[in-house]
Structure 1
């Protein structure tokens, strides 16, 4: 389960000086509540607010939309509709009229490729017409293990709060021919898992906010195809009696140990596919 307290994110977690919305202390209550909900949710989400909508997004959506989308919550966005809104304009119009709506399997094009999502539109402050619309994106169907023809198709999410170690591990994995992304915080890991398909979660056991074990358990509940590899400087003491399969590497580990663990993962995924 999520650790309480420090890992929570709200509007107060961000600098709003670049936003047309200004200081959150002056925001209408419906906007503040909807924004807090969005920022503290691992699903990719957008919030459009006002007659000339200002579009806010959480970090999960920013990771999904790619570097072309503003990293500043509530900052300037292109004049065109964000892709989820453009993909479901009728449902968006219903939400602006105060009616919740959903679209199953909408084709959303982020410019780097088209993916299918279930889109959920919720009106915000709907008395006398919505003041805003909250949009959540969920994968249209559970991601399934993909057949692996080459090791390079194996995608790995590395969760390591030591940035030097994270960089070195990601570079080693890329040198082996794998795809690798690195994050330092469990919240960012959940955002990346929601944004794209990974085969492997390679996580340190000791992390800020929640342990790597809790992160793995939560991730497997959402993405049961994931293979988990733990890295720990404390041996296997914290990994005893886990109720899901995993591999573990004792820090500092050798390159051949890492390659062997990934080779076993590749074999398991091929067998499953």
Structure 2
């Protein structure tokens, strides 16, 4: 039996990158980069406060962005979706926490256009001596289960002023089988609520101008059958202080939590 032959990987030329000569790198950066570039799993490293991005060929193939070439090593004009989808995640990992998020819908370049893809994301702090100097993200394709039979598709109005967050939550809701309209403020939401029949108003609490709570109160007054769902940093603490029934998701939330709360809302509507 012939033994398999080893493949020697080419050594990247770092001279034209923001990382400079590898001889001057800290040991943690050298080790992480070696592991990442020799891994078949898509990996993306953000290094230092400059947010220098290093990635492997598997990441390039997963994201499919034209012109993207491994290993990177510079500060991109636009942050990758694995970073921009939730700034709180990066802050938590920089504080030393390892985090995993299952079923996140992120935009990737596919078939000549940007399309939503559901991924599992694993974030790991990379320490240089005693401090966190980088954040490593491992990305894997996720298999999204079909919506539960008991949870018929609903129509939702999403109110979120952050454009990236609005896009991601809408694509996630559509992947779960629901119909979605979206606006950036409470003032924009009011005519939508007047002109369309929605099952759920899904709103951020902190909005420019009218708050999500004030919007929900107005909507509930005119359409008492409308289910209310908040995204906030207060979670259940918020709903306990309200003078009307509502559900709340603690930011950051994952797709399983979103699906679970929508199933509770659907069950409540069927019971009513």
More strand by share: 2
TM-score range, shorter chain: 0.3 to 0.5
Higher relative contact order (CA 8 A, sep 6+): 1
Q: Provide the TM-score with structure 2 as the length reference.
A: 0.46
Q: Provide the TM-score with structure 1 as the length reference.
A: 0.46
Q: Between Structure 1 and Structure 2, whose CA radius of gyration is higher? A: 2
